[in-house]
């Protein structure tokens, strides 16, 4: 495990491609692997990590940022071994976050790095300036995409803006809702565009297969790795986290 926590942003541009599912699954799998992850719901407009997990209301990200509560006391310790810092859905507060808010977020992440092995940021959809600034704070940005052309286009936009904002940023693709090719088509499409137009390709972090157990877990407001620990999507998520837990992790 990293000594100083690694901040991993989960972004996509397009909504509804599996960011929250994968953020929760990655936090869970990292905890299984011996980590001490913190999952932050950084969806600025429509936070819903707590809804997918069926958690009651608690002091949330905006309370920590405003200094109303200390980070270790906010949010929840999930029984699966990770902490969750919920967002506040519909408040608009985070969406309107200016320079002071971004500075508070940077301070929060600096503190979280000292307390957690990994800090996962479940980003909302879109590429508004605040979201762009937030992803540049991450050590690694996982860009989630599916085979849908709209998803690929938006994933490319996220990558392009990230490279413009922070040259050399560590961006990796995760192909979700993948079929038998293990995300190869999604990766080749994005990688080719990135090579041709951005001068640098993109690495494939992994693929998570389409699995009916995923919506089933959401309907039951239970983590996928608890409800269906051995389903194929859970296996894929565990394979994905290995690159962040092995001693040789890059």
For position 151 contacting Mg ion by CB under 5 A, the verdict is: no
Of 74, 135, 175, 233, the residue at the interface with ligand ATP (CB under 6 A) is 233
Q: How far is CA 68 from the centre of its chain?
A: 25
- The alpha-carbon radius of gyration of the chain (Å, integer) is 17
Task: Give which of Mg ion, ligand ATP, none residue 177 binds (C-beta under 5 to 8 Å, depending on kind).
Answer: ligand ATP
Of 6, 9, 10, 20, the residue at the interface with Mg ion (CB under 5 A) is 20
Name residue, tokens 């200016």: 98
Q: Is 172 exposed, middle or buried (0-12, 13-18, 19+ CB in 10 A)?
A: middle
| Smallest distance, ligand ATP to C-beta of residue 195, A | 26
| Smallest distance, ligand ATP to C-beta of residue 121, A | 12
3 state SS of 178: strand
Question: CA 131, CA 110: separation in Å to the nearest integer?
Answer: 18
194: its two tokens? 């990135």
Of 218, 231, 240, 241, the residue at the interface with ligand ATP (CB under 6 A) is 218
Question: CA 232, CA 179: separation in Å to the nearest integer?
Answer: 11
For position 141 contacting ligand ATP by CB under 6 A, the verdict is: no
For position 41 contacting ligand ATP by CB under 6 A, the verdict is: no
Question: CA 81, CA 30: separation in Å to the nearest integer?
Answer: 9
For position 245 contacting Mg ion by CB under 5 A, the verdict is: no
| Smallest distance, Mg ion to C-beta of residue 42, A | 10
| Smallest distance, ligand ATP to C-beta of residue 196, A | 27
Of 62, 117, 176, 245, the residue at the interface with ligand ATP (CB under 6 A) is 176
Question: CA 95, CA 1: separation in Å to the nearest integer?
Answer: 33
| DSSP-assigned beta bridge partners for residue 83 | 38, 77
In the complex, which residues of this chain contact Mg ion (CB under 5 A)?
19-20
Contact residues for ligand ATP, defined by CB under 6 A:
12, 15-21, 43, 124-125, 176-177, 208, 210-211, 214-215, 218, 233
């Amino acid at each position: 495990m990293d000594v100083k926590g690694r901040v991993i942003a989960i972004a996509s541009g397009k909504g509804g491609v599996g960011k929250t599912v994968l953020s929760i699954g990655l936090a869970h799998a990292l905890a299984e692997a011996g980590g001490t992850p913190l999952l932050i719901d950084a969806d600025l407009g429509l936070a819903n990590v707590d809804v997918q997990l069926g958690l009651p209301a608690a002091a949330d990200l905006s309370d920590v940022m405003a200094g109303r509560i200390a980070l270790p006391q906010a949010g929840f310790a999930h029984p699966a071994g990770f902490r969750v810092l919920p967002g506040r859905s519909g408040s608009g507060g985070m969406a309107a976050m200016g320079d002071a808010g971004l500075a508070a977020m940077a301070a929060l992440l600096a503190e979280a790095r000292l307390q957690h092995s990994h800090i996962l940021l479940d980003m909302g959809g879109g590429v508004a300036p605040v979201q762009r600034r937030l992803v540049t704070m991450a050590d690694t940005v996982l860009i989630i995409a599916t085979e849908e052309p709209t998803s690929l286009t938006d994933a490319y936009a996220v990558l392009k803006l990230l490279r413009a904002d922070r040259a050399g940023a560590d961006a990796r693709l995760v192909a979700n809702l993948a079929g038998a090719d293990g995300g190869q088509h999604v990766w080749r499409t994005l990688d080719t565009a990135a090579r041709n137009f951005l001068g640098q390709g993109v690495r494939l972090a992994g693929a998570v297969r389409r699995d009916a157990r995923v919506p089933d877990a959401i309907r039951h407001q239970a983590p996928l790795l608890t409800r269906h620990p051995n389903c194929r999507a859970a296996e894929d998520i565990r394979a994905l986290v290995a690159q962040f837990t092995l001693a040789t992790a890059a």
